[in-house]
Amino acid sequence: MQVRLNTYNQNKNISMCQSRRRNSIEPSAIDKEISNLLAQFNQNKKAKIPPLKLTKHINPNNNNVFDTFTKLDDVTRGINFVKSADAWNDCLLEEIEEFNVAKSEYEVSKTQQNYDHMEEEMGDIFYTAASIAKDSGIDPMEAFKSTNRKFYNRINLMERMAASPESKTPKLLENCKDYQRRALWNAAKRKLYDAQALQYIV
């Protein structure tokens, strides 16, 4: 197929097929750079693509993962890459499903590749949950701290309840049967909830 060029080249014809073929043979400089950058991932899953503009101030390997998340989330919102509340919830369910698939694959074949895939999917769950928290006006770091305190207090209360003279369980929590631990867990959960609820009573 022949096509006549614009008024700047009225006397020249060019084959569109030839044009496409030439472009595919001679990739642009940016295409070459992208290929070179992606090649490093063949050897190192933790390879990093150097930032251009948007993420210059972000270190993805920062141990303060929630600080990094907050900065990345600000970038994605800055380019209008956001989801509705329902979309985030659907996304979380999807990530959990993908993790379960990856976990099943790892249980069948415990290769490094399958482990890395499972680890990555779990990270997606964390990231999505943190995004839901931020959309709800919740600081993910404080939410995680709150849950850590909750389980810390619950375990400590379970130990004391097991050691109580009135307890019909072994004195040491680790010697309890499964049903006894579950009963202590639920009892400690209820007691802590009732105690904490009092602070909200006016």
| pLDDT (0 to 100) of residue 5 | 41
pTM listed for this prediction? 0.75
Mean pLDDT within 146-169: 93
For residue range 70-125, list pLDDT tens digits in order. Answer: 999 899 888 887 778 888 889 999 999 999 999 999 999 999 999 999 999 999 99
Q: Where are the domains of the chain?
A: 2-42, 83-138, 142-202
The closest alpha carbon to 91, from 127, 142, 135, belongs to: 127
Q: Which residues contact 17 (CB under 8 A, 6 or more apart)?
A: 1
Percent over 90 (pLDDT), the chain: 63
Assess contact for 128 and 105: CB atoms under 8 A.
Answer: no
Which pLDDT does position 102 carry in this prediction? 98
> Considering the chain, what is the average pLDDT of its residues?
86
Distance, CA of 33 to CA of 135 (rounded, Å): 36
Q: Evaluate whether 181 touches 162 at the Cβ level (below 8 Å).
A: no
